[in-house]
Structure 1
Amino acid sequence: MPGISRRTLLGGAASLTAAVGVGAVTSAPARALGASSVGTADAAALWAEYAADPYRHPQIPYVGRAGAFGGARELPRPEVVASALDFGADPEGAADATPAIQAALDAAAEAGGGAVLLPAGHYRIDGLLHIGADGVVLRGEGSGATVIEATRHLTDLVGPYGSRYGGDKSSWSWGGGLIWLCPKDRWQSLTDAIRARDWPFEGWTGNVRDAFEPLTALGPATRGDWTVPVADTSGLAEGDRVLLRLSDDADHTLLAHLSGEVPGTADYDWASCTKLTSYVPHEWPCRLAAVDHDAGTVTLDRPLPLDARPEWEPQLTTLVRPLLGAGVEGLTLRCPEVPISQHLLNPGFNGVALQCAWDCWVDDVEVTHADNGFLLVAAKGCTLRRTTVSGRDSHHPYACREGSHDNLVEDFTIRAATSGSPNASLHGINVEGLSSHNVWSRGTMEMGTFDSHRGSPFANVRTEIVVNNNGAHGGDATAGPLFGARFTHWNVTVTNGRAGMIRIDELAPYSATVAISEVEEFGQIDEPDFPGELHTRLESYGTPSAADPVNLFEAQRELDPPA
């Protein structure tokens, strides 16, 4: 196969050193990348190869149904059922509008869903806004017209939120939002526990594993299958939202499978990765497109993301009910321009968080001066469209974590910072914690990087992006590898010539780096987690203009699923 490369080892064994609190990326000398990595095919030839068998390609994942409602181009437009002005919201910003806006959101929930209109104006909120009911949408009149001015952070509003992993870290550094979409019961139990300082606790992302009930055993089946055998169809019906669970074995062969089972996975010290092993059983929400009771099979709404081998006890279980069909549209959320805190001590000037959400969306929303801009936490099939992070430095402009799958971030912008802090670590577009099949498409990044934050995220795509690659990735040793298998970077223009986290053919197993700018290593330099053959592809290197198709996600979106 053309373009197969072998990682040139930099000193032998893989480094598991935590990559947090990194200084300027120009602090280390440049390093030439292996010229032998360059493939003999080009983007068009690789696409033709992929399209011949799109659901099982070794390097490129199928993400054509990422986003809300299976990647729908048109988002729902529910009718307005309430105006925040009718509940007393002050569009001049003189009075706290939190109670009025929240009352309007609650009224929409009582009505069974619908949009809450927030007309053009400046609204001061001294609290946070929570959307916890299906079908409720907070709708402004455009990000340039409706502005919400936040005055307080989440530590002040809810309380100090310590890390379940101990130490003095603040979980507001990667969770929670001043506009927070999360099922009502999950959000209430979470915030009650934070206020009571009852942490660490089960279900901090909203996924309480003890609440799941087995439905049927699954498989065996192979990655890419749409129709899979099950032991018992009696409790299943078309349209059911269920959870696929895969349990690891004593030799951690499931974790090796997530990384493509390259030779280096055999000797990797999986047992020391206590944060990573806490993420398994691996959980993937899916919807049943069909149930064949006679054949004893179910057809999924998208192809199986991993093999379902008997040793991993594959099963379908019930799913803790997610938030469905909710959204935020047409507004700017502006936080105070205060200096960003020391790394991992963010107080919670966070923007929009989607937690335990499915088929939810954010459209035409800008977040300014935030610790964290947009957070996807245990989120499934959500769309972030026409979103912008601006103002002073952000810790995570975008974060996708805790088993978030099949989400789409498109037409996004990260503006250059108006102010910064030497104590902060800017990441960029983050993915971690076994998150998979997420897409970042058509983006402009004036700062940041393609941050893979350890925890073996796999099968994620970044495509048609222009980036000033000046950020740093994060993650500590206990979270395991930076990359699982099948990361693809397709049509990426790097304006400052830095390779780190974007050219990944010598770093990420079974990955594809296609039509990116010519780059070199400098600053934060990583060794591979797995020594030996990585089975990667590097095609149309140095020529983003050669990307054919231009956008990998859009091309996949046009592929018809099997009959």
Structure 2
Amino acid sequence: MPRPPQGSPPPPPSPPSIQLSDLVCGALNSGAPCLDPLKCCNIYGLCGTDASYCDAASCAGGPCTASLPPPSPAPPSPPPPKSAPTPVFPGDLGDAKTQYSWLWGRQGELWSPSSRMPDWSYVGYMGNDRAIPNYPATFNVKDYGAKGDGIADDSKAISAAITAASAAAAALGSPSSGMQNEGKAGVAVLLPAGRYKITTFIELQQSNVVVRGEGVDRTVLFFPRSLSSIYGNAMAWSYMGGFLTCRGRRYDSSATQFQLAKLTAAVRKGTRRLPVDSSQAIAVGRWVRLFAVKPLSVSRRALLHADPPAAEPLRVRLQVQPFEGGGSDSVQPGREKVIVQVQPWKQETLQDGGATLQPEQQKPARRLLADTNSSSGTDGVQQPLLCGKPGARQRCRQVTEAMWEWKREAEALGLDQPEDASEAEGSSVGAAATDDGSGEQATAASAQGTMDAYMYGENAVDSGSGPFSGERIRFISRVSAVGPGWIELERPLPYDLRLEWQVAVYSFEHKVQHVGYEKFTVEFTWDVYPAHFSAKGYNAFWFQSCANAWVRNVRIIDADNGAETINCDLITLQNITLEFTKDRGTYNTQYANGHHGLWAASSSLVHFTQFNFKGKFIHDLTLDVWSQECAFSSGKGVDMSLDMHRGGVHNNLWANIDVGLGTRPFQSSGDTQRGSHAAANNTWWGIYASGKPGASLAVPPCNFGPLLNFVGRVAPPFRSDAGIAGPGSPAGTPTTLFPAYCAKVVRWWVEQQRPGATLLPSDLWAAMVQTRQARLGANKG
């Protein structure tokens, strides 16, 4: 219902059902008075008629009491200490069949830029300013020799068509900066109906190119071999790489050539205007991003770079990497690739050869080893490259520079770190720390004043002993106004920015944008998934350092990993089905059929929506490594895990997700050195289990993360009821609507959905997109 302007007469009486504007006013309704002229608007923005609304201490508008009651004739007692009155909240918003949250209201009227929830209306392709484009199918793989019969190897023909399309896209002359051409022009490579056998990975490295089929039931991309079978085990396929890729170039805070200005003062969450040292290089309409150059203290950085404790002496050896060549098993002279390998010196590996380094070489070599180690658990010892079926003597194809870049980027983010064993084996959320619901502050590793401490609620929970060197924030916005010494952003900040973090304004830069894969099935040969970290590389999509890209209308069959984004922004993954021809899992994988289903790492504004999991992965949906402002919405699965993989993930949304059987909705994993599972301001909205109609889902333990929001049918924390203590609900004390789970220290907002009532809006992401103009006055494109 529209709000009346401030000072205007109230509208005609509402129908008998209670309307939101009957209940809120003032601070909660943009200054509007109560609709009922007999009701007072109190200082908390609520309408009522008793003293908590109308007396002089509480009333902000309406028929307020003119003055406080006169004192008693008897000599007054010494007055008690003055305290703010407890805000009065009605029981709920809505009626018997519908319910609205106090974090949102009906149309976002209870939301504000400084709300506990950030604005997610920019999550997805082009910030939802423009629809995903439909480029003309200028190139057809059949014209380049593809057969599509499922027998002939069509790898070279498809690659040739993409190369030709990339040349045509480059000739469009799109701008190289900002959002480039905003997807207004491009070309598509068509794979007509058929079954295309592919034995190499496909890569998009040019903006404005799409690979398109003719529908999931008509076009099939068949991969008969895994990445490890083709390229060997030099890569850790459990957490990296894919057959269908987008590869750009990472630009972070070290890319100072794109730095436009520096903040000159601290600003608070919800702010749009930023004080900067210079605004000369910034124009209205330009897309910019914010990086924190120094999120950690100097002493913390010194600790990170300190020499490791005494260890075994290191040695060096040379490895000759084979390539896919002629009929001999030997390496063709002149084509071999020599790798210098550093590894610990151990008695049991002496037979492998290698020279022990001199004492003065140990220190730099040890740092090299720390930088390059893989997650194989072999202390850096390279295992033999094995390709093809067991017992076969097939040569591996040469690992390309693109793959080495996959490895460097993944390991730079710590994706190779081990996961907590108890979590990997299926406990709800692991047992890395004690439940802090009692109010005890959690042990924390981050120094006070650092961005890490702030993102973990000022160390309300464990903030990690092994932090990353990567970006904590990667906020993106269009500039809406510019003045001397300041700029104004279109989007409000979702967090505070402090001067000591040395926040700077950069131009938004991504080399590869406006690319996508759509309308086909990805099918792998069925194979056993043997163990958690032993995936063979049946990996579908891998997007690395790309922006404004998409995967949509795709089916994936028998995959180890479905789709991952790493160092990406403004991505849409829509209408993806993941299924298995039969069970692939074993006891070692908890009988899960794959490792990661859909996964975002070190990414922002990524939207996963309309997904359908017809089988279980160890981690169905995952957020990892400072992923932020991402959203999973309106999807379903047979028994889903919504995995918060540690590493400072903050300001993300999970909305309207059917977790199926509901046995593991918050099961999460990740290396315990990365801190608690979640950093601040993540929201779970309307999560439900169709396999348990009407049942409530136990929220995770209180040490899961700080400042979290749960709105829906929820039960007490999984591990114990310790969080149910003391004030914390908006009403000040636990109530049926606000049970005050984990209210102390970690300051959760838990809002209970009433039995029989439907939570509206069901998809909070969609509601934010629809109301963006009214709430923010922002450009809708």
TM-score (norm 1): 0.78
Which residue matches 1:414?
Answer: 613
Give the AA of the match of 2:749.
R
Q: Distance in 1 between matches of 2:558 and 2:448?
A: 42
Which of 222, 228, 244 is matched with 2:274 structurally?
228
Q: How many residue pairs align between the two structures? A: 478
> What is the 5 A alignment of 1:54-133?
54-58=112-116, 60-72=117-129, 74-112=131-169, 113-133=186-206
The answer as to whether partners of 1:540 and 1:547 remain within 8 angstroms in 2 is no
Which of 479, 494, 509 is matched with 1:305 structurally?
494
SS of 2:150's partner is coil
Shift, 1:145, TM fit: 1.2
SS of 2:605's partner is coil
Shift, 1:473, TM fit: 1.8
Q: Distance in 2 between matches of 1:371 and 1:136?
A: 26
The answer as to whether partners of 2:223 and 2:525 remain within 8 angstroms in 1 is yes
Give the AA of the match of 1:286.
I
Which of 224, 233, 249 is matched with 2:296 structurally?
249
Which of 598, 602, 608 is matched with 1:398 structurally?
598
Which residue matches 1:514?
Answer: 711
Which of 213, 218, 221 is matched with 1:140 structurally?
213
The answer as to whether partners of 1:288 and 1:298 remain within 8 angstroms in 2 is no
The answer as to whether partners of 1:504 and 1:511 remain within 8 angstroms in 2 is no
Which of 471, 476, 486 is matched with 1:286 structurally?
476
Q: Distance in 2 between matches of 1:155 and 1:361?
A: 26
Q: Distance in 1 between matches of 2:502 and 2:758?
A: 44
Give the AA of the match of 2:777.
P
| 1:526–1:358 Cα change, 3 Å | farther
Q: Distance in 2 between matches of 1:226 and 1:367?
A: 41
Point out the more displaced range, 547-556 or 66-75. 66-75
Is the aligned partner of 1:481 residue 2:680?
Answer: no
Which of 616, 625, 639 is matched with 1:447 structurally?
639
1:337-356: CA deviations, max 9, x gaps? 10113212323211112221
Point out the more displaced range, 303-312 or 78-87. 303-312
| 1:178–1:520 Cα change, 3 Å | farther
SS of 1:69's partner is helix
Which residue matches 2:540?
Answer: 351
| 1:70–1:229 Cα change, 3 Å | same
The answer as to whether partners of 1:212 and 1:320 remain within 8 angstroms in 2 is no
The answer as to whether partners of 1:212 and 1:319 remain within 8 angstroms in 2 is no
Q: Distance in 2 between matches of 1:338 and 1:100?
A: 27
1:440-490: CA deviations, max 9, x gaps? 111011133111000121111111111133454210111112011111111
Shift, 1:322, TM fit: 3.7
Which residue matches 1:200?
Answer: none
Point out the more displaced range, 174-183 or 301-310. 301-310
Is the aligned partner of 1:44 residue 2:104?
Answer: no
Point out the more displaced range, 484-493 or 339-348. 339-348
Identity of aligned residues (%): 25
* CA RMSD across the alignment: 3.0
Which residue matches 1:26?
Answer: none
Shift, 1:540, TM fit: 2.9
Which of 228, 235, 247 is matched with 1:155 structurally?
228
The answer as to whether partners of 2:554 and 2:576 remain within 8 angstroms in 1 is yes
Which residue matches 1:549?
Answer: 761
Point out the more displaced range, 325-334 or 49-58. 49-58
Is the aligned partner of 1:540 residue 2:752?
Answer: yes
Which residue matches 1:9?
Answer: none
| 1:99–1:437 Cα change, 3 Å | same
The answer as to whether partners of 1:408 and 1:440 remain within 8 angstroms in 2 is yes
| 1:492–1:105 Cα change, 3 Å | same
Shift, 1:502, TM fit: 5.5
Shift, 1:335, TM fit: 1.1
Shift, 1:245, TM fit: 1.3
The answer as to whether partners of 1:225 and 1:304 remain within 8 angstroms in 2 is yes
Shift, 1:336, TM fit: 1.3
The answer as to whether partners of 2:624 and 2:644 remain within 8 angstroms in 1 is yes
The answer as to whether partners of 1:41 and 1:539 remain within 8 angstroms in 2 is no
Which residue matches 1:562?
Answer: 777
User: Any unmatched runs of 5+ in structure 2?
Assistant: 1-43, 46-89, 94-98, 170-185, 298-446, 585-592, 724-741
1:60-103: CA deviations, max 9, x gaps? 22101110011257321111120111111111111111111111
Q: Distance in 1 between matches of 2:166 and 2:562?
A: 25
Which residue matches 1:178?
Answer: 243
1:389-418: CA deviations, max 9, x gaps? 11141211111112x11111111111125x
Shift, 1:241, TM fit: 4.4
The answer as to whether partners of 2:676 and 2:703 remain within 8 angstroms in 1 is no
SS of 1:95's partner is strand
SS of 1:451's partner is strand
| 1:547–1:361 Cα change, 3 Å | same
Q: Distance in 2 between matches of 1:300 and 1:129?
A: 38
Shift, 1:545, TM fit: 4.5
1:507-560: CA deviations, max 9, x gaps? 4321221123x55776x99999x9942221222336484212222111111222
Is the aligned partner of 1:378 residue 2:434?
Answer: no
| 1:41–1:310 Cα change, 3 Å | farther
Point out the more displaced range, 532-541 or 111-120. 532-541
Q: Distance in 2 between matches of 1:298 and 1:542?
A: 44
Which residue matches 2:465?
Answer: 273
Shift, 1:230, TM fit: 1.8
Which residue matches 2:370?
Answer: none
User: Any unmatched runs of 5+ in structure 1?
Assistant: 3-38, 163-169, 187-205, 418-424
The answer as to whether partners of 1:90 and 1:97 remain within 8 angstroms in 2 is yes
| 1:460–1:283 Cα change, 3 Å | closer
Shift, 1:260, TM fit: 3.1
Q: Distance in 2 between matches of 1:291 and 1:499?
A: 46
| 1:209–1:297 Cα change, 3 Å | closer
| 1:286–1:125 Cα change, 3 Å | same
Which residue matches 2:183?
Answer: none
SS of 1:282's partner is coil
SS of 1:360's partner is strand
Which residue matches 1:363?
Answer: 552
| 1:310–1:173 Cα change, 3 Å | same
Q: Distance in 2 between matches of 1:208 and 1:309?
A: 19
Quick check: which has more Rg, 1 or 2? 2
1:182-205: CA deviations, max 9, x gaps? 12xx4xxxxxxxxxxxxxxxxxxx
